Amino acid sequence: MTRVPMPKRSAGQDRPAATVAPSILSADFARLAEECKRMVDLGADWLHVDVMDGHFVPNLTIGAPVVASLRKHTDAFLDCHLMVSNPEQWVKDFAKAGADMFTFHLEAAAGPGPDDWHALSPDTANQTVVDMCRGIKAAHMHVGIAIKPSTPPELVAPYVAEGLVDMVLVMTVEPGFGGQSFMPQAVAKAAFLRNKFPDLNIQVDGGLAPNTIDRAAEAGANVIVAGSAVFGAADPAAVMKTLKSSVSAAASSGKPAH
């Protein structure tokens, strides 16, 4: 059984419940368990874990052993974003480590070549990607698919339509490093997905802060990842409250995503 249920859409809302997931990439890794507890105590709904292999993206961070160690110190929802070239080889390790969500990149799962994703179709599901989703579910984790800023959102639609995906992550920066500037044009993908799938959890990650959150909220996002904006704030609780309030207000406004 998966450990924690996904956010659901309530009556009168245009999306599932607002969820804030601070990225622990911006935490003090020497005090990681303490930092994570602090964020949860201050109002974090999830903890976002950025896993990078130095190959799919030009950075190297943490892996399943750190997740396993962290799981011993928290019951929080561990939202693991794998920016790795061969995500299928890590499913069992992250399940064993205690991950709640396993989000892989559509571009990485589509084939062994870095440009193989260009052959994906918005009308037909790719069997390799389907098998990835089913494997993650079989390992009792929620399934997330991430797309880079240049990847059309139409390409992820077949997997959502088939009920294989619990969340789509729309990157609003190029994946690889924290602290990058928000790319406002990328949130249009969230609007496309929200209009098509009202019950889908849509996560945005990259440059989210109090001065950029409204664009993401208006586009239909409900799961907000923020790293430096939260961990670097004098009052992280206030920042998380602002992020969540923006999403909640947009969800109940009745305004269509755009």
50 is catalytic: yes
Binding residue ranges for a divalent metal cation: 48, 50, 81, 205
Question: Annotated binding site: which residue ranges?
Answer: 23, 48, 50, 81, 176-179, 205, 207, 227-228
As a whole number of angstroms, the distance between CA 236 and CA 230 comes to 5
Q: Spot the catalytic one: 53, 79, 100, 205.
A: 205
Picking from 126, 135, 132, 162, the residue whose alpha carbon sits closest to that of residue 145 is 132
Point out the catalytic residue in the list 50, 53, 79, 100.
50
Give the burial string for 23-55 (b: 16+ CB within 10 Å, else e).
bbbbbeeeebeebbbbbbebbbbbbbbbbbbee
Annotated binding site for substrate: 23, 81, 176-179, 207, 227-228
Strands (E), the chain: 19-22, 46-52, 77-83, 101-105, 142-147, 167-171, 201-205, 223-226
Q: Give yes or no: 75 in active site.
A: no
| Residues facing residue 23 across a β-bridge | 48
Active site residues: 50, 205
